[in-house]
Amino acid sequence: MSSPDALVQDALVRFERVGLRYGRGPEILSDVNLELPKGSFTFLTGPSGAGKSTLLKLCYLALTPSRGMISLFGEDTALLSNSAQQAMKRRIGVVLQDFRLIDHLSVFENVALSLRVSGLSRASYSDDVVELLQWVGLGHRMQALPPTLSGGEKQRAAIARAVIAKPDLLIADEPTGNVDPVIGRRLLRLFGEMNRMGTTVFIATHDVALIRELSARVLRIEDGHIYKGLHPDKPGNEL
């Protein structure tokens, strides 16, 4: 895993004075400057309602900033065509709190969907999907449909779906919120292994114990601003 203090020249994600507001309401994010170096592992924490999920949505192009500049993979996202945006999104794995599994597809089919639509044959990816589902504890539920799964099982299926294609950037919103500590540590090891293979990992969580499991960079969002570390009250630590 990359050292949290390592200096990496290439920023996979860069925010410059980014602000976001809905309609005429107050800004949710204000003058956010952020860099996620290529190959880094970063936790994002902060109180409920502080804007963690909003910041992640900006990172995977689900939202457009009200002002400022966001670049992904070295490209200004405001200048991308629709087709270029879609191509960029295929390089990003996303784990959301609402899972977004397709109810009429089995767990296996949900996890394999991105591989299938990219034109790969089932024979070329079947073993990898099975191995990953066994790793996240869903080997016995591969043919189950999402409505029959528990919340924790849905969470693990969503994580498997996000990482199966080995994305360049993995963004996860409270990825261990619905699982027990044992499974949570196993998932954290999975994220760590993805990072060691080159994936840039950005995880939002309120779980301080989870953060302390790894020696990774920590950012905190509070009052619309980003700070370094768990304690934004320390002077001089705003980004």
The enclosing domain of 73 has a CATH number of: 3.40.50.300
| Residue 236 forms part of a structural domain | no
Say which DSSP state 27 is in. E
Domain annotation covers residue 234: no
Q: Which residues pair with 45 in a beta bridge?
A: 220
Q: Are 170 and 201 in contact (CB under 8 A)?
A: yes
The pTM (predicted TM-score) of the whole model is 0.89
Q: Would you say residue 213 lies in a domain? A: yes
Q: Are 14 and 37 in contact (CB under 8 A)?
A: no
Residue with tokens 């924490």: 45
Flag whether 133 is in a domain.
yes
Number of separate domains in the chain: 1
CA triplet 125, 126, 129: central angle to 5 degrees?
85
Structural domain boundaries, residue 168 = 11-228
Structural domain includes residue 75? yes
Euclidean distance between CA atoms 75 and 155, whole angstroms = 31
pLDDT in tens for each of the 239 residues of the chain? 544 444 345 789 999 999 999 888 889 999 999 999 999 999 999 988 889 999 999 999 999 999 999 999 999 999 999 999 999 999 999 998 888 999 999 999 999 999 998 899 999 999 999 999 999 999 999 999 999 999 999 999 999 999 999 999 999 999 988 888 888 888 888 999 999 999 999 999 988 888 888 889 999 999 888 998 877 555 445 55
- C-alpha span between 2 and 24 (Å, rounded): 41
Q: Look at residue 160 and give its three-state secondary structure.
A: helix
